[in-house]
Amino acid sequence: MSEFLSALRSGFGFLTTIPVGITMEGIEKLMKHIYLFPVVGAVMGLLIGGTGYAASIIFPPILISVTVIISIYFLTGFNHIDGLADFGDGIAAHGTKEKKIAAMRDTAVGTGGMIFCVIAILGIFSSSLSIAEIDTLSLPFALIVAEISAKQTMVTVAAFGTKLHQGFGAITVDNANTSDFVTGMVFSGAVCFLVLGIYGIMALIISQLAGILVLNTANRNFGGVSGDVVGASNEVGRLAALLFIGGVSWMLL
């Protein structure tokens, strides 16, 4: 039980900006319980969704959406969107896999990375706005589903990917397996269904398909998965879930 709790605490230290303290020993314990990623996502979804709900009492929909974006990156940090930027730079680079990997590992952000990040942020903004304009009370539930989906997408990519090189990405991929994927999906599916019913399940499934797309793209361009790819999958998974929920909201209007 103590190892489980330590892993859960480390999950918040590893995946969020919450100052719970984190050690290498704690990270190692977390990596043995990677299925806990969606649990962290559920808590973060509650916090982000609560912030969105509080904003809806005061602000119009467009400012609610801005508040949601600020709260997402305030609470989850910039590591994952930095991974998306690096992933975008690698995809945009021309040449061999080695050149693409070098572009992905370059600390400078290039055009590909900037475009990927702009698309992700605009996607969150537009989908949150569309949901808030239709029903502000449904936005917190959508954000819970989106954050759970994002973290489960990381588990999916890690479980079915092969490591590209050493680092946190390699540790994640080495420790993730099919049982982590199944356990994470069972938890994620149950919570998403409780929150948004069948649409929550559909959003989760679509986010995982988006994660598989990220994985296949990484395999094709780099030959494997790195920490940047896992981080990018978090952003892509969240975006896919929110875009689906936003689209459904408009269709049901």
Examine residue 10 and state whether it is found in any structural domain, yes or no: no
Report the distance separating Cα 74 and Cα 18, nearest Å.
Answer: 10
Q: Which of 250, 138, 137, 153 is nearest to 204 (CA)?
A: 153
Report the distance separating Cα 29 and Cα 230, nearest Å.
Answer: 18
Q: Which of 143, 142, 169, 167 is nearest to 157 (CA)?
A: 169
Q: Is the pLDDT of residue 250 over 80?
A: no
Examine residue 200 and state whether it is found in any structural domain, yes or no: yes
Residue 48 CB burial class (10 angstroms; 0-12, 13-18, ≥19): buried
The predicted structure's pLDDT at residue 188? 96
Q: Which of 132, 133, 127 is nearest to 207 (CA)?
A: 127
| Cα Rg, the chain, nearest whole Å | 17
pLDDT digits (tens, 9 = 90+) for 26-83: 788 888 889 999 999 999 999 999 999 999 999 999 999 999 999 999 999 988 999 9
Assign 147 a pLDDT band (cuts: 50, 70, 90): very high
Examine residue 60 and state whether it is found in any structural domain, yes or no: yes
Examine residue 231 and state whether it is found in any structural domain, yes or no: yes
pLDDT digits (tens, 9 = 90+) for 104-143: 887 888 888 999 999 999 999 999 999 998 877 889 999 9
| H or E element that contains 106 | none
- Number of independent structural domains in the chain: 1
Examine residue 88 and state whether it is found in any structural domain, yes or no: yes
Q: Could you tell me the maximum CA-CA distance found in the chain, to the nearest angstrom?
A: 52
Poorest-confidence range of 37-51, 88-102, 158-172, 201-215? 158-172
pTM check: above 0.85? yes
Examine residue 130 and state whether it is found in any structural domain, yes or no: yes
The predicted structure's pLDDT at residue 13? 85
* Domain limits for position 135: 37-251
Examine residue 9 and state whether it is found in any structural domain, yes or no: no
Token representation of residue 119: 């698309």
Examine residue 177 and state whether it is found in any structural domain, yes or no: yes
